[in-house]
Chain A
Amino acid sequence: MNLYKYASPSAFYPLAGKMIPWFAVLSVILFAVAIYFGFIVAPEKAGDQNEVYKIIFIHVAAAWMGMFLYVLMAIYAGIGWAFNARLASMMASSLSITGAVFTLLSLVTGSLWGKPTWGTWWAWDARITSTLILLFLYIGFISLQSAIDDQRRADRAGAVLALVGVINVPIIYFSVQWWNTLHQGATIRLLEKPKMTSPMLIAMFVMLAACWLYSVVVVLMRVRCIIAEREQNAAWVTEGTA
């Protein structure tokens, strides 16, 4: 089975169309399971945290997705630039908007958590500030691509920005260790026993999985639109854009 053929936009387009419904259904199911575990099974309060801790399920997932999708976007942009691969550049463009949405969501939910917890909607804390920079990087990537008429030049310029900006992701992640920050430390540490109860952990990881599957759905939907727009002069577009 030759998988390399799917590097071609015309071959990937129908494959993406077939994948979308499956990931969409799974995503909805996992969102429902996460909400059930987070609001029905998990305790009302967590240690010294009051009910507002329940924001953590969507906030942490959104923050992780913002970072993951940026790295993925940078990888695709780099591949598109290095190998002149059209589909890779299209994937980078598609990932950028979803990544920006999740980063914005993490900042908004973070504010909604911060007000009752710290007494402020915003703080120029290392993690919060570096996450805001991540949002600016996403907006910069999207704006740069929109501003340049020549598509190949737009893809190359975006790739440079994406690859340079990827240094911000480990800064966000390690900021709570490197600096004395207002933001709490890592929710999950690989080498330590989790401080959260099982239902809370389940809710968090299921929500993260749901967000991943949701991202696959919207990124594939968007990349199909991008393919149809960029390849609109190709015969297969008028024959098969269903």
Chain B
Amino acid sequence: MGGYGFYVWGSYLTALILLGGEVISLRRRKNSLRKRVERNPR
């Protein structure tokens, strides 16, 4: 990358962390909700 690898790869790594982190946190939230509903059915 002509010496600019830190900046270019840093940008895409940041995107991966933010977007991937969002998906992971949503899956955890969904699983947590499911367990809560299973524990406390109406």
Interface of A toward B, CB cutoff 8 Å:
44-45, 50-52, 54-55, 58-59, 62, 97-98, 101, 104-105, 108-109, 112-113, 115-116, 214, 217-218, 221-222, 224-225, 228-229, 232-233, 235, 237-238, 241-242
- Identify which of residues 5-42 in chain B touch chain A, using a CB-to-CB cut-off of 8 Å: 7-8, 10-12, 14-15, 18-19, 22-23, 26-27, 29-30, 33-34, 37, 41-42
Please measure, in the bound complex, the distance between the C-alpha atom of A51 and the C-alpha atom of B12, giving whole angstroms: 14
Q: Which residue of B lies closest to A229 (CB)?
A: B33
Q: Apart from A62-B15, A101-B22, A225-B26, list 15 A-B contacts with CB within 8 A.
A: A45-B2, A50-B4, A52-B1, A55-B7, A109-B15, A112-B11, A113-B7, A115-B7, A218-B23, A225-B33, A228-B33, A229-B33, A233-B42, A238-B42, A241-B37
A116 touches B4 (CB 8 A): yes
Q: A51-B4, A218-B22, A238-B42 are in contact. Are A59 and B11 (CB under 8 A)?
A: yes
- Does A241 lie within 8 Å of B33, measured CB to CB? yes
Look across to chain A and name the residue whose beta carbon is closest to the beta carbon of B8.
Answer: A54
| 6 tightest A-B CB contacts, nearest first | A109-B11, A52-B4, A51-B2, A112-B7, A55-B11, A221-B26
Contacts of A113 in B (CB 8 A): 7, 11
Q: Tally the A-B contacts, defined by beta carbons under 8 Å.
A: 77
Main secondary structure, interface of A, reads helix
Contact B2 A58 (CB under 8 A): no
| Docked-complex contact A58 and B11, CB < 8 angstroms | yes
A61 nearest in chain B by CB position? B15
Residues of chain B lying within 8 A (CB to CB) of residue A45:
2
Which residues from B are CB-within-8-Å of A97?
A: 22
- Output the nearest chain A residue to B12 by Cβ-Cβ distance: A58
Query: Separation in Å of the B8 CB from the closest CB of chain A?
Result: 5
Our pick among B14, B15, B30, B42 for the contact of A235 (Cβ within 8 Å) is B42
B11 to A: closest C-beta gap in Å: 4
Distance to closest chain B CB from A219 (angstroms): 10
